[in-house]
Each structure stands twice: as C-alpha cells, then as structure tokens.
Homo-oligomer: A and B are copies of this chain.
C-alpha cells in the first residue's frame, strides 16, 4: 500500500494555472499533488555567443528551490555562493527536454529562458518542472505569435512531459511523492513526447541494483503516465 493510498499506476492530481505572472511572456504554476513549481518563460532578443549569426535560437532553463520549500530549511544557493550539483543537473535536464520539441531554426535568433522555481516540494519537482515548463514555453510562443514573430505550429514540434517511477516495497509505482521517494529502492525519471518518443531516461538504483524486468515495468508505467500528462497539457493550452 502506498503512503498516499494511491494505486500503483495512479498519479497525483495535476493542475496547470496559466498566466499567473504579470511580467513573463509565458507562465504556469504547475502542481503535482503538494509539489508546486512556478514556471516562467522569458523572451530575450539575444542568443548565446556560439549561436550568433547562425539564424538559430535557443531554449534554456534554470531551476531553484525556495529555502523552505522542503521539510527542513535548505541553505539558499545565492547565499552559499554557488548552485549545487543537483541543481545544475536538473536545470540541464529541463533545458534539454524542452529543446527536444523545439525547432530552433524556426524560432530564429532569440532565446527563451524557462525559470522553474519550486515553491513547495513533495517529490517529483524535476518532472513537474519539465511538464509545467512546457506550458510556460507554449504560452511564450503564443505571445510571440500574437505579435507575428513566429508560428507556434512551426516552432513547437510536439508536446513533452516527464514523470517519475520507482520500486516501492517491491512494487513498481508511478509518480513518487516524497514519502515514497525517500524509501524507494529504485528511482527513474522519464521524459517523453506526445508521440511516445523518448527524450530522456534516467534510472538509478538507490541501494540494490535492479533487474531488467523491473526496469521494463517502470518504462511501461511511465508511458501511461506521460500519455495522461500530455492530455492534460492539451486541455490546459487549448
């Protein structure tokens, strides 16, 4: 039995609140249960130096957690003077995931930065960030289309979403919350597109190695979860 009483293949309630930022070109407060991530997409007219005069744009992401988004207060990274390895790892993953569905050529020489700031954490912050970051990115592109800068349809090739799975008390389960995550033997994150393409797979044995069979079970769970998330994204942005 999962701590949250959910069925193994049952995700938490997922919601997208769009347009919550007065300033950002696109924004979304995404919730996976008690996990809340504020995603904003910011348009800038300059690209990284290695893309200058290439005709191509760039999509990048930054990730942060508010100090008391977690059970114990974490040290503020701005005050400790650097972003930790976990933060850098996650923001690189979010950026790669979002770029996998963007035609950078069709975007043109502009940069969109998606900031994902965790207001409250209860497991799965990186998957919520990717899934909600897509919505913020979508809305930023709509903002640009409304100003005749691009065509959303040509820039955005597909949906992208992410979900975690794990082996909790010997059972493969979908969408781990914090209680499960800290107890799970194995933890895997999947990033997939609306057309079931795999963008990223990350599976980690926390203690004992896991078997190929277990991994296949997690992959199967992830596919159903991602399909559901993409459906919810479509409802949100339509």
Contact = CB atoms under 8 A, between A and B. Distances in A.
Interface stretch (A48-56, A59-67, A143-151): A59-67
Interface of A: 21-24, 27, 34, 38, 40, 42, 44, 62, 64, 66-71, 73, 76-79, 81-85, 87-89, 91-92, 96, 100, 113, 115, 117, 119-120, 122, 158, 188, 192-193, 195-205, 207-212, 215, 219, 223
Q: Is the interface of A mostly helix, strand, loop or mixed?
A: mixed
Contacts of A201: 188, 201-203, 215
A73 B205 contact: no
B96 A92 contact: no
Contacts of A202: 200-203
A66 B78 contact: no
Given A21-B120, A78-B64, A199 B209 contact: yes
Contact of A203 (B81, B198, B208): B198
Given A42-B67, A73-B113, A202-B202, A79 B100 contact: no
